[in-house]
């Protein structure tokens, strides 16, 4: 099972040394994230141009902010610039993200749109000269394509059953939200949905799980940062299902209620999350605690057919803290062997 790392952090160029450290440590790839203040494509390309071998991928790039034909061109150019090291992860975000963050209200039927979006990407990459697409959501024609481009691996993403199923049906890989790495939710929702979608599409998609990770010589400090990350996720109703399935629905409900009352008081919401919940959803603690926990968890993921685990740093602290945590992940959870051949 491959080990990767995601740079889910506000920092940008400051993480170039961390990218080189991840490459030296033998990680399979670096995934990049985005929000209204950062761009996953630009970051993935930047880290690739400052490294030599490690793969890069968007985890994820928002489909609803980009016309699919434009993203097809960008992804193809990035793959060319990186020597074939790029994978394109796309996603729909949540309804709240689309409307509150970006003011986008016309991305209805999000799962079906993502499926058609992936189909359009491949149609564009196959086009020798003329491009035409006439779908339910997207239409367009262009007669002067530059010739067929090498197809880029497309990863869908999700946490709910429908999105996971359609991602598996239409994409080369399925990237699962960090809350989906919970074993009860993985068994009850993720794996059945992925299996159903793969059968429908006649595919054998790869399966990557994100796992929130917080490492510090002070184990309590590591767990405090992990609590803030969980509070952020569970403040959103869209993420209630993993908590319910894993037996933590009541706590998640209290977090949502407090968010409704006090907004982004993350310290107060984090205080509602017990250590047992942190241990369930995160790798958090001292280097030795995290190594021990991962040694027990890794074979359970392997037995379930997971092909890649992506260690995600937790935020909520100053930039130096985030960079240090990424460096700790690279050191503590480095693969035992080098990059896959």
Q: Which helix (H) or strand (E) holds 329?
A: helix 319-332
- Tens of each residue's pLDDT in the chain, 341 residues: 999 999 988 889 999 999 999 999 999 999 999 999 999 999 999 999 999 999 999 999 999 999 999 999 999 999 999 999 999 999 999 888 999 999 999 999 999 999 999 999 999 999 988 899 999 999 999 998 877 677 899 999 999 999 999 999 999 999 999 999 999 999 999 999 999 999 999 999 999 999 999 999 999 999 999 999 999 999 999 899 999 999 999 999 999 999 999 998 999 999 999 999 999 999 999 999 999 999 999 999 999 999 999 999 986 556 788 889 999 999 999 996 444 33
| Predicted local distance difference test score (pLDDT) of residue 148 | 64
DSSP 171-221: SSEEEEPGGGGSHHHIIIIIHHHHHHHHHHHT---EEEEEEEEEE-SSHHH
Q: Find the CATH number of the domain harbouring 300.
A: 3.20.20.30
Residue 93 lies in a domain: yes
pLDDT at 9: 86
Nearest-10 Cα torsion for 67, 312, 163, 79 = 40
Asked if residue 272 is part of any domain, the answer here is no
- Whole-number pLDDT of residue 337: 45
Judge whether 41 lies within some domain: yes
CA 330 to CA 174: how far, in whole Å? Answer: 23
Residue with tokens 């889910």: 8
The conformation of residue 64, written as its DSSP 8-state character, comes to G
On whether the CB atoms of residues 337 and 26 are closer than 8 A, the answer is yes
Q: Does any domain span residue 137?
A: yes
Q: How far is CA 59 from CA 6, 21, 92, 310, 311, in A?
A: 8, 19, 12, 10, 12
Domain that holds residue 168: 2-219+285-332
Cα 207 to Cα 64, 167, 199, 264, distances in angstroms = 23, 11, 14, 33
Domain contains 267: no
Tokens representing 287? 């280097």
The number of folded domains in the chain is: 1
């Amino acid at each position: 099972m491959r080990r990767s790392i995601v740079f889910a952090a506000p920092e940008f160029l400051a993480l170039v040394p961390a990218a080189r450290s991840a490459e030296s440590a033998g990680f399979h790839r670096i995934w990049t994230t985005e929000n209204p203040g950062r761009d996953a494509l630009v970051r993935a390309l930047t880290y690739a141009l400052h490294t030599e071998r490690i793969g890069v991928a968007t985890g994820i790039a928002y489909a609803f902010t980009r016309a699919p034909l434009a993203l097809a061109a960008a992804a193809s150019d990035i793959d060319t610039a990186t020597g074939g090291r790029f994978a394109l992860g796309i996603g729909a975000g949540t309804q709240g993200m689309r409307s509150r963050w970006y003011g986008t209200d016309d991305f209805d039927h999000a799962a079906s749109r993502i499926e058609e979006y992936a189909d359009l990407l491949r149609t564009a990459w196959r086009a020798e000269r003329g491009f035409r697409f006439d779908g339910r959501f997207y239409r367009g024609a262009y007669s002067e394509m530059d010739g067929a481009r090498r197809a880029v691996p497309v990863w869908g993403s999700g946490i709910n059953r429908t999105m996971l199923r359609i991602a598996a049906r239409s994409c080369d890989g399925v990237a699962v939200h960090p809350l989906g790495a919970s074993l009860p939710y993985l068994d009850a929702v993720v794996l059945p949905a992925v299996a159903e979608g793969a059968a429908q599409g006649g595919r054998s998609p790869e399966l990557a799980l994100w796992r929130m990770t917080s490492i510090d010589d002070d184990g309590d400090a590591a767990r405090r940062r992990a609590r803030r990350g969980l509070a952020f996720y569970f403040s959103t109703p869209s993420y209630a299902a993993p908590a319910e399935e894993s037996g933590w629905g009541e706590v998640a409900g209290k977090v949502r209620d407090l968010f409704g009352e006090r907004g982004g008081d993350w310290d107060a919401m984090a205080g509602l999350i017990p250590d047992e919940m942190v241990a369930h959803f995160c790798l958090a603690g001292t280097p030795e605690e995290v190594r021990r926990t991962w040694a027990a968890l890794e074979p359970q993921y392997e037995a379930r057919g997971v092909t890649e685990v992506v260690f995600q740093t937790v935020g909520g602290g100053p930039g130096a803290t985030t960079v240090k945590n990424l460096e700790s992940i690279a050191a503590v959870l480095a693969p035992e062997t080098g990059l896959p051949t």
